[in-house]
Structure 1
Amino acid sequence: MHWLLYIGILSGTFFVMEAITWLTHKFVMHGFLWSLHQDHHQPQPGFFEKNDAFFIIFAIPSFLCILFGSLDKIYWLQAIGFGIMAYGVAYFLIHDVIIHQRFKWFSRSNNTYIRAIRWAHKMHHRHLDKQDGESFGMLYVHKKYWAKVRRDKKLLENKR
């Protein structure tokens, strides 16, 4: 029965990470650490970005929670670490693979969720500086982006 609690903690952590990501993106990445995030909005030549440092920044608490949770048999702490890690994997797949296609593993999708998240991210990236941003989350898509994608899909279907 304890494993259900740990799965709940892992899942809860995963969902809380979306709020943490939103807050971090808006107030840290578009705030005092803009110098690390700027090259993501104003791309430079090369595969790696300074922005990739945020992968390490987010991986550290995950690693420490898993490590100390394992060593001290504090399994709820370990579950938090795995929840952070699961969110990191989802973030990587959505942001780097599907949205920016830094890795050419998948082609563009007609899936409504994928199209809505890509549109929301496109609206975020239309701002080249740290002010006046929008859509700072990653997995949650605001209803205005869903509505736009659904309208476009309906228009396309009506043209056929």
Structure 2
Amino acid sequence: MSTSLAFLVNALIVIATVAAMEGVAWAAHKYVMHGFGWGWHKSHHEPREGVFERNDLYALLFAGIAIALIYAFRNGGALLWVGVGMTVYGFLYFFVHDGITHQRWPFRYVPRNGYLKRLVQAHRLHHAVDGKEGCVSFGFIYAPPPADLKAKLKKLHGGSLKQNEAAE
């Protein structure tokens, strides 16, 4: 395979993996983190004490898988580029979810409009529910329109949400 074609194929694998990881992350968030893995994830839905929370173990788990793929296929192969795509998704997650949405950085940035604002609003609506049941918006990079999420929450809960979160 020519160098140009190999670059294109590898780039497409990385892009496809980033897109697929949003689906994997959505399913893991909805069915694992809000299911049998709630013991780790619960810390993310409570006020944080310190720099880390138990939920950060999920990031280490996914990073470990990506590192293992990159190391195991460091001499080439599609799975090397899958590992790179997982790593790119991890950086996007860190930037958007931890940095912008939850302000876990030493500096503050609050998006006032556009898609980043929509991501923050959707995630706040996810946190508007006490406990693991009846939440909405399980993605990290894709967010449905906030009006749709509010309507779904109203249908699920009849308006009984945390006042400070649902108001935004």
Correspondent of 1:79 among 70, 78, 81: 81
Aligned counterpart, 2:124: 122
Name stretches of at least 5 consecutive residues in structure 2 with no aligned partner. Answer: 151-168
Q: Which amino acid aligns with 2:94?
A: F
Question: How many corresponding residue pairs?
Answer: 146
Aligned counterpart, 1:89: 91
Quote the RMSD (CA, aligned, Å).
Answer: 1.7
The percentage of aligned residue pairs carrying the same residue is 35
Q: Which amino acid aligns with 2:58?
A: F
SS of the aligned residue for 2:58 comes to helix
Aligned partners of 2:148, 2:135: CA distance in 1, in Å? 18
Highest relative contact order (Cα 8 Å, sep 6+), 1 or 2? Answer: 1
- Residue 121 of structure 2 contacts residue 146 of structure 2 at CA under 8 Å; is this kept in 1? no
Deviation at 1:146, TM superposition (A): 8.5
TM-score by length of 2: 0.81
TM-score by length of 1: 0.85
Structure that is richer in helix per residue:
1
Aligned counterpart, 1:157: none
Aligned counterpart, 1:3: 7
Aligned partners of 1:42, 1:89: CA distance in 2, in Å? 24
1:69 aligns with 2:73: yes
Moved over 4 A (4+): 144-148
Aligned counterpart, 2:111: 109
Q: Which amino acid aligns with 1:85?
A: T
1:57 aligns with 2:64: no
Q: Which amino acid aligns with 2:112?
A: N
